[in-house]
Amino acid sequence: MATEAPPERVIGYVDGFNLYFGLKEKGWRRYYWLDIGALIRNLLKPAQHLVAVKYFTARISGARASDNPQAAKGREAKRRRQSDFLDALATVVNLEIFEGHYLDKTVRCFGCQRSWTQPEEKMTDVQIATQMLADAFEDRFDAALLVSGDSDLVPPIRTIGRLFPEKRVVMAFPPRRTSGHLKRAATAYFTIGEGIFRRSQLPDSVTLPSGHVLSRPQRWR
C-alpha cells in the first residue's frame, strides 16, 4: 500500500512596501488593513502546510521640523495609520515582522535644479534574502512563497535554486508589480487577484494584549 506524501512545507515572505505600493497604484486603499497571515494562507494549495509568515517593512517617520502645518498633519496621520496597522498585525499568530529603516536621500531636479530630501527605505531586500537563504539552509521549507515584484531578489532565488534544486520558490506578484527577471528565476509565478485581498482583511477592530482596541482607519474603508 502506497504511503501518502507529506504536505509541502511553505514559508511566506512578504515585501511590505512593494505590496503597499502595488495596492496603492491599483487604487485598492480599502484593502490596506490586510491580514498578512490570512493572505498567505489563502494562497496555499490543499497539499501545502504553512510553517511561518515573515513580513518585511519599515516604520515611516512623522512630521518634520521643516514641514508646514498641513504637511506635518498629513505625515503624522500616515504615521499613526501605519503604526496601528503594524500593532494590529503583531497579533496575528505565526507571523513575524522584520523592520528596516529609512535614510534621507537628496533628490535633484535636473530641469529646474531644485533639490529636496525624501526618505528611502533600506534593508528590506537584504533581510528577505537573508531569511530565505537561512531557512533554506536550515531546511525549514519545501517551497518559499515570495510576495514581491522587486528584481533585486533574483540573486537569492537563483542561489536557492542552485544549492537546493529540490526546493521551490514561487513568486506571488502584488497588483501592478511584476518582473521578467523574477519570472525566469522562480519556479513558478502568478499575480494575486482582488478576491484574495478581499478575503484576507483584519477584523475592523483588533484588541491588543494590553486591552487597547485598534480600529481600521476611516481612510482605509
Q: Residue 138: how many CA atoms within 13 Å on its side-chain side? A: 9
pLDDT at residue 116 in the model? 41
The span from the CA of 116 to the CA of 153, in Å, is 29
How does pLDDT run across 45-95, given as a tens digit for each residue?
999 999 999 999 999 877 666 777 887 788 899 999 999 999 999 999 999
State the Cα torsion 94-62-214-193 to the nearest 10°: -60
Q: For the domain 8-220, what is the CATH code?
A: 3.40.50.1010
Residue 16, helix vs strand vs coil: helix
- Could you tell me which of 29, 12, 45, 11 has the C-alpha nearest to residue 175? 29
Q: What is the pTM of this model?
A: 0.89
Taking each helix axis from N to C end, the angle separating 154-163 and 124-137, rounded to the nearest 10 degrees, works out to 10
Q: What is the DSSP letter of 201?
A: B
Count of Cβ atoms closer than 10 Å to residue 196 Cβ: 16
pLDDT at residue 117 in the model? 46
Domain range summary for the chain, segments of one domain joined by +: 8-220
Of residues 160 and 101, more confidently modeled: 160
The span from the CA of 121 to the CA of 101, in Å, is 6
Q: Residue 54: how many CA atoms within 13 Å on its side-chain side? A: 22
Q: Residue 212: how many CA atoms within 13 Å on its side-chain side? A: 6
pLDDT at residue 69 in the model? 82
How does pLDDT run across 155-175, given as a tens digit for each residue?
999 999 999 999 999 999 999
Please name the helix (run of DSSP H) or strand (run of DSSP E) that holds residue 115, with its range, or none: strand 115-122
pLDDT at residue 183 in the model? 98
How does pLDDT run across 103-155, given as a tens digit for each residue?
555 546 566 666 544 445 668 999 999 999 999 999 999 999 999 999 999 99
Residue 98, helix vs strand vs coil: strand
Residue 167, helix vs strand vs coil: coil
Please name the helix (run of DSSP H) or strand (run of DSSP E) that holds residue 162, with its range, or none: helix 154-163
The span from the CA of 103 to the CA of 26, in Å, is 27
pLDDT at 31 over 60: yes
Task: Report, as an integer, the average pLDDT of 4-26.
Answer: 95
Phi, psi of 119 (to 5 degrees): -75, 145
Of residues 16 and 64, more confidently modeled: 16
Phi, psi of 129 (to 5 degrees): -60, -45
